[in-house]
Amino acid sequence: MPFYYDTVYWVALIPILILSVYAQIKVSSSFNRYSRIRNQRNITGAMAADAVLRAHGIRDVIIRPCRGHLSDHYDPRSNTIFLSESVFDQATVAAVGVAAHEAGHAVQYAVGYGPIKLRMAILPVTRFGSQFSFLAIALGLILEAQSLFAVGIILFATTTFFQLVTLPVEFNASGRAIGTIEGAYLLNEEEQKGAKKVLSAAALTYVAALLTSMLQLLRYLMLFAGRNDRRRR
């Protein structure tokens, strides 16, 4: 096995683990912090989402409350933005940031933003990949079947690729959110900083997820190469 891959793996492992934990803590701490700060103009999450849609000339998207904590999402099938209890009718800095971000996703679908179309297109393959990659890899290892192992790695790689495509989608949604928050002056300058902190913490979790997935892929490739080497000997 090439020494190089091994070194890259072990050197990258700890920082990526730390980054993942840090991002998770940062998301909840920044959301909790800015959920306690009411915004000056009394803009609720639902109002902010509506403002983003209107700024982009979109009128057919539904905005509804949903249960759960940080469960906010946009559902393209029903063309509905679901906002959680602490976002929907709360006039806080965090609520405006999160709701505007979800509306950003709705805008992406409405304008046919490329990466979100790609993400939708590869979703079924990714679902299949995440369900069966582990099975194929485990069986490949147990049965010493390198071809099955290779199939497993390819399936796993589809999930890594999905996370790669997720990055521009998430950054772009936040960019659209910030654009309206600033442009329509939903939040004052001080509050805008808070909303940006919440959104960049969320973005960091996607970066951490991608790096973790890439590292796992590297690990599989190392194992695969190691087995190939042993066979040749």
Provide the minimum distance between the beta carbon of 223 and Zn ion in the complex, in angstroms, as a whole number.
33
CA 227/CA 229 separation, integer angstroms: 5
DSSP 18-29: HHHHHHHHHHHH
Count the residues of the shown chain that bind Zn ion, applying the rule CB under 5 A.
2
Give all strands of the β-sheet with 80-84 in edge-to-edge order: 62-66, 80-84, 73-75
* Active-site residue, 102 included: yes
197 bridge partner residues: none
Nearer to Zn ion, 136 or 173 (CB): 173
Provide the minimum distance between the beta carbon of 90 and Zn ion in the complex, in angstroms, as a whole number.
19
Could you give phi then psi for residue 75, rounded to 5 degrees? -105, 110
Provide the minimum distance between the beta carbon of 221 and Zn ion in the complex, in angstroms, as a whole number.
30
Contact string (CB under 5 A) for Zn ion, positions 7-26, x = contact: --------------------
Nearer to Zn ion, 170 or 191 (CB): 170
Which parts of 26-112 are beta strand (E)?
62-66, 73-75, 80-84
Q: Which two tokens stand for residue 106?
A: 């709705």
Which one, of 39, 21, 20, 25, lies nearest residue 194 by Cα?
A: 39
Residues 116 to 155 in contact with Zn ion, rule: CB under 5 A: none
Nearer to Zn ion, 27 or 186 (CB): 27
Which one, of 205, 215, 228, lies nearest residue 27 by Cα?
A: 205
The active-site residue, picked from 102, 170, 189, 190, is 102
Nearer to Zn ion, 43 or 173 (CB): 173
Contact string (CB under 5 A) for Zn ion, positions 86-115, x = contact: ------------------------------
**DSSP assignment letter at 38:** B
Residues 161 to 180 in contact with Zn ion, rule: CB under 5 A: 170, 173
Provide the minimum distance between the beta carbon of 102 and Zn ion in the complex, in angstroms, as a whole number.
7
Which spans of this chain sit near Zn ion (rule: CB under 5 A)?
170, 173
Q: Which residues are catalytic?
A: 102
